[in-house]
Structure 1
Amino acid sequence: MRIAPSRRFGRGAVTTTLLLVVAFLIVPVFLTFVGSFAGEWSGVFPSDFVTLRNWREVLGLAETIGSQRSMGWEPLLSIGGYTLAVPSELLFSVGLALGGVFINLIVGIPIAYAVARYDFWGSEWVNAISVLPLVPGVILGVAFLRAYPTLSGTSFGLIVGYSLLKAPFMVMAVLSEFESMPLQRLEESARSLGASWFRTFLTIIVPNARSGIVSGAIICWTLAAAEFNFSYIVWAKGTQPLALFLQRHISNSSFTKAAAAVSMFFCIIVAITVLLQQVGSHGFDTRS
């Protein structure tokens, strides 16, 4: 019996392609992380290992000058003569991105639910507008300066801008989850047992869409934390968003120091992603 070539080589070809793609994506990240512990990187590979100087300078634990200054550390509290300080730019950026994610959750979930559940006039337009980015960050930033001058340069203005820019990703992630659920049957079953619409939505619909909500939150957080164009235009003074911190180190530092700054961003992304996944897996339940 002759075996078709697709059956004989198909699985191996798919596996090989997958491994090559993963390696192509991971190798630059790995080299960047390794290079952050190098003293010099002038050739193809870094050299002069192992040093923590780059990380110390990026984290503000070593002296830097001029445009290469590192994230500021602000005193949080003092206990027994010891002062606990925190990296202000890091916490500021994490808070901004999470604030944008919070708005996306409050607004994006109901929009996705309405589009998936109901057939109303203009639903196609709502669907198209909600899942397509309206404007790039640079255009939204310029519009913010003119339309909302009181928000420009403020933390709340950055949060609102991040939420507007990343809302389509939340809507798309949650919409796909809602469309795979028998929404009408779930609602009718819960209502027949005496549950109100609001309770049905919070205790039945939302928990069953948990995976899509968590995926959307992770995507929105990651993209908002690295949003440069909008941050560059709207930010005025004070503590800088993380995207501007990265730009400063990439454009005005040695490659090894830039590698440390980027590696720090990778670590933050991984930490927040794991946190959001844990919240989604164990702590995200609106049922009493």
Structure 2
Amino acid sequence: MPSKTPARRTGYGSRLSFAAGLALTLAIAGFLILPAILSMLAGVTANYFRGLSSGLTLRWVGEVLALYSDTIVLTLGLALATLATTLVLGVPAAWFLVRNPGRASRAIEELLTLPIAVPGLAIALAMILVWGGVGDLRTSWVFILIGHVLFTLPFMMRAVVANLQAIDARTLEEGAASLGAGPWRRFLEVIVPNARPGILAGSLMVVTLSVGEFNLTWMLHTPLTKTLPVGLADAYASMRLEVASAYTLVFFVMIIPLLVAIQWLGGLGAPGGKARR
């Protein structure tokens, strides 16, 4: 009879490799998530320096909502406005780059990545020098919106470009054109549905970056246009650690449902009209 020892050794080695991979993944996840969990727990403790032994309270969360509710509303509004703007500008621009490959397109794509490489403070200073004197733009939330669009647009375009290149969207468009579809119909009914995974990935990046962006926003904000990250920095600077930790808790409670909603909306276009799981 053939020996079963090699098969047993192979099965044991596979289980050992799986266990090692799982342990490494959990260790990395814990390293990334544990600080955020501890910070959120500090936001519901009665005394930060005594820890959980001092008891739990929602007092600090209440203070955040009372003192900084306007920053939360403004941050959400900016994130959604940034997402809408990058969708309107980024998806057609990404399709143009894919549809017209060449040196010029590659040069344009590389230029669009400059806001990522340049520090946010430098971009904000340039915006103030160029557009700071245009009417009331400097004191408007639209000024911050422009900065967020400049910063996040490359992420939307890169995600959509990669997706369109992977599915050979040019061939799909040529097939639709051969059937008599016009340019707008080809874009809306062929390109956009097939680019949905890239659009979803870009949307998630745009929203998270806009909500959490600090450097550029800190330079552009005014006392009337303070966003959540700027308010969080103010709370930490004032040494109100419980309030700042509660601010972090509010941030996570706000951003997680928003990201889940974007994923759900992105899955509505899946076959059958149901969100993908």
Is 1:245 equivalent to 2:208 in the alignment?
A: no
Number of residue equivalences: 261
The structural deviation recorded for 1:264 is 0.5
The structural deviation recorded for 1:134 is 4.7
- Partner in structure 2 of residue 19 of structure 1: 26
Distance 2:36 2:218 in 1: 25
Q: Which stretch shifts more, 276-285 or 153-162?
A: 276-285
- Partner in structure 2 of residue 67 of structure 1: none
Residues 54-109 of structure 1, C-alpha deviations (whole Å, 9 max, x = no match): 1111111xxxxxxxxx12xxxxxxxxxxxxxxx32211111112212222112221
The structural deviation recorded for 1:9 is 3.1
Is 1:138 equivalent to 2:124 in the alignment?
A: no
Distance 2:181 2:108 in 1: 29
Distance 2:108 2:256 in 1: 33
- Partner in structure 1 of residue 131 of structure 2: 148
- Partner in structure 2 of residue 48 of structure 1: 54
The structural deviation recorded for 1:200 is 0.9
The structural deviation recorded for 1:148 is 0.5
Distance 2:239 2:62 in 1: 14
**CA contact 1:135–1:165 (8 Å) conserved in 2:** no
Distance 2:147 2:270 in 1: 26
1:9-88 aligned within 5 A? 9-42=16-49, 45-60=51-66, 70-71=67-68, 87-88=69-70
1:1-288 aligned within 5 A? 2=6, 3=9, 7=14, 9-42=16-49, 45-60=51-66, 70-71=67-68, 87-132=69-114, 133-149=116-132, 150=134, 151-282=137-268
Gaps of 5+ in 1: 61-69, 72-86
Higher helix fraction (1 or 2): 2
Distance 2:106 2:157 in 1: 14
The structural deviation recorded for 1:124 is 2.0
Distance 1:242 1:142, change over 3 A: same
The structural deviation recorded for 1:8 is 5.7
Normalising by structure 2, report the TM-score: 0.86
Distance 1:181 1:131, change over 3 A: farther
Other structure's SS at 1:152 match: helix
Normalising by structure 1, report the TM-score: 0.83
What is the aligned-residue RMSD (CA, Å)? 2.3
